[in-house]
Amino acid sequence: MGAEGMSLQGAVVAFDLDGTLVDTAPDLVRALNHTLDLEGLPHASLAQARQFVGQGARKLIERASAASGVDFDAPKLDALTDAFIAFYRQAIAQDSTPFPGCLDALDALEAAGAGLCVCTNKRTDLSEALLDALGMRQRFRAIVGADSVANKKPHPEHVLTAIARAGGLAHRAVMVGDSSADVRAAQAANVKCIVVSFGYHDAAPHSLGADIVADHFNAIPRSVAALLA
């Protein structure tokens, strides 16, 4: 579990949120299906929701409606996004849980001296509310959602901003995520990247181009240490 005795003092580990730190799909799909009901569209399954997640609420709705052959215009998508957020906020952590081993891995990274932050395409206020509800918010030096930067993932600005707000530098940082957006953002920022194989992927985990693919959170502390050695 631990970082093999290596000091990670001065290092920063940036985590994606949905599908990386927390299994949020059950609460996301419930809010999504309430939103789809407003337009009389078929419900998305939990498996579909895991594929649709990754670029924020608006893209989630856009992908789900497209799966039913419906393409909403921008004003309608705006209205549905507002409705989704209202539904989601009502029970933001009803069925969402940290992935197995997550909290222990965060403890190990902190014990080794690493600073932690969140770099997510979820809105910052929703990210903070979710992490508050799960008792995890205090673990992170910075929580940087898509609305906190001019250019969200896969743009490198998002990752670099999160690392900087956590007091780190790119050459002593690692991005941990589950999607191509995470990997592309990290690579463009010249930041090492770990992909978790249990997350919400838009392609096979080993095809995404990460430096390491982790099958369980207990592998992440030593993987971070190896990448920064």
Other CB atoms within 10 Å distance of the CB of residue 19: 24
Q: Decide if pLDDT at 2 tops 90.
A: no
- Label residue 59 by pLDDT band (50, 70, 90): confident
Residue positions annotated with a catalytic role: 16
Query: How many Å is the maximal CA-CA distance in the chain?
Result: 56
pTM to 2 decimals?
0.91
* Cα separation, 98 vs 109, whole angstroms: 16
Q: Which domains does the chain have, with CATH numbers?
A: 12-23+97-228 (3.40.50.1000), 25-90 (1.10.150.240)
With H, G, I as helix, E, B as strand and everything else as coil, classify residue 51. helix
pLDDT in tens, 175-220: 999 999 999 999 999 999 999 999 998 889 999 999 999 999 999 9
- Report whether 196 contacts 177 (CB < 8 A): yes
